[in-house]
Structure 1
Amino acid sequence: MQLHLSLVTLLLGWVSATRAANILMILNVVSRSHHIWNSALITALAERGHNVTVLATLPVKNPGPNVTSLVLEGCYDFIHGQEEFDLESMSDTSPSEILNIMFDWTDRICDFTFKNKGMKTLLNYPDNFKFDLMIYEPTSGECLLGLTKRFGSPPVIGVSGFSHPHWIDYKFGNPNNPSYIPDVMLPYSDHMTFSERMHNFIFNLWTDHLWHSKLLPSIDATTRKHLGPSAAIPSEELLKVSAVMVNTHPSFDSPRPLLPSVVNVAGIHVKEPKPLPKDLQEYLDNAKEGVVFFSLGSNLQSKNLKEEKRQAIMSAFAELPEKVLWKWEADTLPGQPKNVKVGKWLPQTDILAHPNVRLFITHSGLLSTLESIHRGVPMLGIPFFADQKINIEKSMRYGVGLRLDYDDITKESLLKAIRTVLDDPSYAKNMRELSSKFRDRPETPLETAVFWCEYVMRHKGAPHLRSAAKDLYLFQYLLLDVIAFVTAATLVPVLLLCYCCKKIFSKKSVRKIKKN
């Protein structure tokens, strides 16, 4: 009888822990790769029985019965139409300029999102409709935190496919010491020189200033404009966010302190490889000499490369004994070498899992980098903007990749870089070791992500995870007020003593002079 009662209790506890919840995911980052990254979590939550409403820049692919897909139509045309949106030219743009552009895009996307048909559909939900959890992307979704009050003030979780930028630390009160934690936009290691530490520190301060003086006031104003004065204020709602899941892992990123509410889920989107289309499968199977896979991701497109660079790349590929698989977004590739196969869309993670793929030439976006690490394929990185430079720099430090700047691409430089990685067995060896460390976890990153989503709901926002650091001003957090007090308490008596001694000795000197 006691055994039966225990089983019933266990079953009831399981049902309670996994009851169907209404979850709102707001994903307004204009990036197909980020959408793929988040889609894994959407599917996993829906498979757990939760009802997931997704407001995103792209429709959810093959949504199940538990998924409602609302699309922010026109976001890609809107961003690509911006004057600054020339990703190819950003290869030599400074980190501060790129960050300025990113924050500016965030503000514009915020305004565009509220005007969008998909957003209006969401806002037309019944007034009494409530969500049990809201998930947003900290990369550009802060303005959408203004929706919390509209839907019953649910607990909120951030899901960042963009690594672990330091402004996330600031929002969550997570420790961030610029002496050994480089900013995600800077190509530094955790062992920085004095000048690098100085640059990193100043860049952190400048970013915080830009965040608070420019971006937050702007998105607060945009939210009030579209949702009215009674809407939740994003800058205030940020302080209430329960947790954030970041796309990092200590095997590849420098070890750093993390609060319990900051969770590593790097590689959340990488699944067991699926069967490839027949033509790709045969092409890779028959490439006994190996395959070089070339893709610049979802935002950069090879078809838009400068003519001189395209010719240099093709000339280099034509001299390789290996076969080449190239993500080329146009119908034809003029002058296509015989050993090159092109495709407008290629299943990247599944291709990287094929044993004949020996090198991945990539733009070094974080998602592509982590896919390559998971599959164990060495990289040749051609970084353009954002965190791509630090990603390939880290790959070089681990001995799993090589960097070639876009401006330096010639037939000779590309051939030399390819042969360096292919002909030196240390790259493949180091990558196998790194891949093993990256995959060695007690549970999959997707299982970790699902657990924390449900944990926050079970514990009504998990306020016990909230760091008191959120309530401190920066000068308090850094103990500048305490340091100032201790300094004053130490110096004032010393200065008074010096002053008194000076007065005493000066009087004695005067008396001595008068006496003489």
Structure 2
Amino acid sequence: MNRTNIGSLIVIALFVLALPEGTDTAKILCFFPTASKSHVLGAQQLLKNLARRNHEVTMVSAFPLSKPVPNYRDIYIPIEDSFSAMMADFMQGGSRSIATIMPKVLSASLDYTNFTLNSPEFQQLIAKERFDVAILGYFLNDFIFGLGALLKCPTVVYFSAGMSQINNVVGNPQEIASVSHILLGNRNPMTFFDRVKNTLVSLVEVGVLGYVHSKTKPYYYYNFPSEKGYPSYEEAKRRIPLQMFNWYFTQTAPRPLLPNTVEVGGLQIKSQPDPLPTDVQTWLDGADQFGAIYLSFGSNLKSSNLRRDKLEAIIRTLGRLKQRVLWKWDTVHMPGKPANVMIGQWFPQDDILAHRNVKLFITHGGLGSITEAMYHGVPIVGIPMFGDQDRNVADVIAEGWGVSVSFEELGEASLTAAINRVLSNPEYANKIRDISARFKDRPQSALELATFWVEYVLRHKGAAHLHYQGADLNFLQKNLLDVLAFLGVILYAVFKLIGFFLRGILVLICGKKEQPKSKKA
């Protein structure tokens, strides 16, 4: 046997020894029906790591990998343009009211999830193959929880953000008195009026969740009808053994979480950045003197759709800077592009933010972008557009590592002032350096943690023991109202009996009181 063969055997042996005890290679399905590329990045990192560990993984999504990976298979379902019209409207200054947006986003999410679920490609896949575990990408589409019964395998829910309606699925306690609602941002500790707001928002959410439930339920029974032996909609949600959130406790106020809720914030971030494309590397390396700025409105919003006055204000502002700028731009050409600006239709954002010369990130404030900036210690100028972005940027401002420019106030003067404020004041860079160190300080990486828990569910055949019994209780039971009512009835009965016996004893001791004789007329 030659040295090459011996070396190969040693590598294989070390790989096998590195696997946790009892973990066999498995067939893993990831069903991720989303029109947002940023939402799927963390799941892709997880699947690639599982594939490296010799599991056979299949990703069903609208975003196949650009480069093939061994043991990794993509099933492409074209839904990536589902939000295009809505995103274009935001960039023109359209209404960003949650009351206006919510019904549209919910309807689109339900429709494209249903399209993916019933696509010929997915139906052919599940007709021919069986899987050991399914990872489900959640975003206002919890009717997909019926896939566990359809595929006859345990399911793990992955959510690229964190919202209380998915918390309800596994029964995480919602401590309204002490934990700020996600829509209110990080408030720790809360003042009296914060708790008033928290209570009101939580009550409104009950109504919103009822609305979401009523819209989602028909999709569940259409795909998983009871007459075919599928569990009820409510039962399907209770069967989820594990959920993973792409956030970490240092990003929020501390909150109580059950063992079946795993925080994997930063899952999409690579511990060791990949080499940058040559042109990008050269551009950033040449920014040693003044530094570089990265500008991106995320994977859904297209910069070319910006209202003309806003776009021109950004271009004029950037053109006057000494810094080099990388701008994620969605077309080949940019009208009036300044000489210090380099454009690209897709940039490896995580790897760019890791570059030593990147001093500022101008962002829409999506959770993924905020998390990557936090990890790499890059302060931000936020221009929030919709959804949770206002709250995300507000948290950054409160923490002291960025400033905000609203879409309505976005102009050359306001943007220039915001950029100069962050770049000229070292306090922003110092603050995010400390926050970054805190975010990174954990016993194992987000990727290692997520990989462990997926394999844990595999090793323990679905890990039914992770299920929290409190998730099965209704509102009355969960809040002990039935118990309090029962005890109230018992106490009432006891007091009535005591009163009855006391009256009886008094009658025996004192005798009956003689009734006065009535006077004759």
Q: Normalising TM by the smaller chain, what interval?
A: 0.7 to 0.9
Q: Could you list the per-position Cα deviations for residues 299-354 of structure 1 after superposition, in whole angstroms to 9, with x for gaps in the alignment? A: 01111100010011111112222222211111111111222221111111111111
Q: Where do residues 243-258 of structure 1 align in structure 2 (5 Å cutoff)?
A: 243-258=242-257
Counterpart of 2:76 (choices 68, 71, 74) is 71
Percent identity of the aligned residues? 33
Shift of 1:443: 0.9
Task: Provide Cα deviations, 1:451-506, integer angstroms capped at 9, x if missing partner.
Answer: 000111111221221111111002221233345556777899999xxxxxxxxxxx
| One-letter amino acid of the structure 1 residue matched with residue 238 of structure 2 | L
Residue 203 of structure 2: SS of its match in structure 1? Answer: helix
Partner residue in 1 for 2:50: 45
Contact 1:107/1:218 (8 A) holds in 2: no
> Does 2:482 correspond to 1:481?
yes
Q: Match of 1:19, as an amino acid? A: D
Q: Does 1:27 align with 2:32?
A: yes
Aligned to 1:150: 150
1:326 and 2:327 matched: yes
1:165 equivalent in structure 2:
163
Distance change in 2, residues 1:273/1:468 (3 Å) = same
Give the secondary-structure state (helix, strand or coil) at the position aligned to 1:245.
Answer: strand
Q: Decide whether aligned partners of structure 1 residues 391 and 348 sit closer, same or farther in structure 2, where only a CA change above 3 A counts.
A: same
Which moves more between the two structures, 303-312 or 28-37?
28-37
Q: Tell me if structure 2 keeps the 8 A contact 1:91–1:406.
A: no
CA drift at 1:374: 0.8
1:80 paired with 2:84, answer yes
**Which of 398-407 and 299-308 deviates more?**
398-407
Shift of the 194–490 alpha-carbon distance from structure 1 to 2, 3 Å rule, reads farther
The answer to whether the aligner puts 1:296 opposite 2:297 as a matched pair is yes
Amino acid at match of 1:60: L
Structure 2 letter corresponding to 1:131:
F
- Does residue 452 (structure 1) correspond to residue 453 (structure 2)? The answer is yes
Alignment counterpart, residue 113 of structure 1, candidates 100, 113, 116: 116
- Residue ranges of structure 2 left out of the alignment (5+ in a row): 1-12, 497-521
* RMSD (Å), alpha carbons: 2.9
Which range moved further: 328-337 or 426-435?
A: 328-337
One-letter amino acid of the counterpart of residue 120, structure 2: K
TM-score normalised to structure 2 length: 0.85
What is the 5 A alignment of 1:157-306? 157-162=156-161, 164-187=162-185, 189-190=187-188, 191=190, 193-215=194-216, 217-224=217-224, 229-231=228-230, 233-271=232-270, 272-287=272-287, 288-306=289-307
Point out the more displaced range, 324-333 or 190-199.
190-199
Change (3 A) 1:267 1:311: same
Q: What is the rounded CA distance, in whole Å, between the counterparts of 1:459 and 1:189 in structure 2?
A: 38
Q: Closer, same or farther in 2 for the Cα pair 1:91/1:260, shift >3 Å?
A: farther
Question: In 2 relative to 1, CA 415–480 (structure 1 residues): closer, same or farther, beyond 3 Å?
Answer: farther
Distance change (3 Å), C-alpha of 1:19 and 1:123: closer
Deviation by residue 1:159-208 (Cα, 9 ceiling, x = unmatched): 1112x200111100011123343333444634252542243222321232
Deviates more, 1:391-400 or 1:427-436: 391-400
In the TM superposition, what whole-angstrom CA distance separates every residue of 1:364-405 from its partner, at most 9, and x where no partner exists? 111111111111000111111222122111111211111211
**1:400 aligned partner:** 401
Question: What is the CA distance between 1:64 and its match in structure 2?
Answer: 2.9
For the Cα contact (< 8 Å) 1:92–1:384, is it kept in 2?
no
User: Given that residues 35 and 81 in structure 2 are in contact (C-alpha distance below 8 angstroms), is that contact kept between their aligned partners in structure 1?
Assistant: no
Distance change in 2, residues 1:320/1:65 (3 Å)? closer
Task: Please tell me whether the aligned partners of residues 19 and 49 of structure 1 are also in contact (alpha carbons under 8 angstroms).
Answer: no
Match of 1:434 in 2: 435
Conservation of the 8 A alpha-carbon contact between 2:297 and 2:328: yes
Whichever residue aligns with residue 177 of structure 1, its letter is E
Counterpart selection for 2:100 from 94, 97, 115? 97
Letter in 1 for 2:470: A
Q: CA deviation at 1:93?
A: 2.4
Q: 2:337 is paired with a residue of what secondary structure?
A: coil
Q: Structure 1 residues 282, 84: closer, same or farther in 2, change over 3 A?
A: closer
Partner of 1:375 in structure 2? 376
Q: Kindly tell me: are residues 13 and 69 of structure 1, through their superposed partners in 2, closer, same or farther at Cα, counting changes over 3 Å?
A: closer
Provide the TM-score with structure 1 as the length reference. Answer: 0.86
CA contact (8 A) 1:374 1:435 kept: yes
Q: Given the superposition, is the C-alpha separation of residues 425 and 487 from structure 1 closer, same or farther in structure 2, using an over 3 Å criterion?
A: farther
User: 1:53 touches 1:69 (CA, 8 Å); kept in 2?
Assistant: yes
Once residues 199 and 140 of structure 2 are traced to their aligned partners in structure 1, the CA distance between those partners, rounded to angstroms, is 28
Alignment match, 1:135: 135
Instruction: Say whether 1:18 aligns with 2:23.
Output: yes
Alignment-derived partner of residue 127 in structure 2: 124
Letter in 2 for 1:369: I
The corresponding residue for 2:6 is: none
**Kept in 2: contact 1:147–1:231 (CA 8 A):** no
Q: CA deviation at 1:30?
A: 1.3
1:46–1:67 CA contact under 8 A, matched in 2? yes
- Per-residue CA shift, 1:1-34, capped at 9, x if unaligned? xxxxxxx9xx899576231111111011211112
In the alignment, which residue of structure 2 is the partner of 1:36? 41
Residue 222 of structure 1 and its aligned partner are, at CA, apart by 2.9
**How far off its partner does 1:138 sit?**
2.2
Q: CA deviation at 1:414?
A: 0.6
Retained in 2: the 8 A contact 1:111–1:222?
no
Aligned to 1:505: none
Counterpart-to-counterpart distance in 1, 2:41 and 2:404: 26
The number of residues matched between the two structures is 481
Quick check: 2:33–2:62 contact (8 Å CA) kept in 1? yes
Q: Secondary structure at the match of 2:386?
A: coil
Counterpart-to-counterpart distance in 1, 2:422 and 2:183: 26
Provide Cα deviations, 1:254-274, integer angstroms capped at 9, x if missing partner.
Answer: 111110010010011111112
Aligned to 1:60: 65
Distance 1:102 1:179 in 2: 30
Superimposed CA distance per residue, residues 34-69 of structure 1 (whole angstroms, 9 cap, x where no aligned partner): 222211011011111111122112223433332222
Would you say the 8 A contact 1:29–1:141 is kept in 2?
A: no
In structure 1, what is the Cα distance between the partners aligned to 2:495 and 2:231?
52
Which segment drifts farther, 429-438 or 26-35? 26-35
Report the Cα distance in structure 1 between the residues aligned to 2:327 and 2:179, rounded to whole angstroms: 35
1:244 partner amino acid: Q
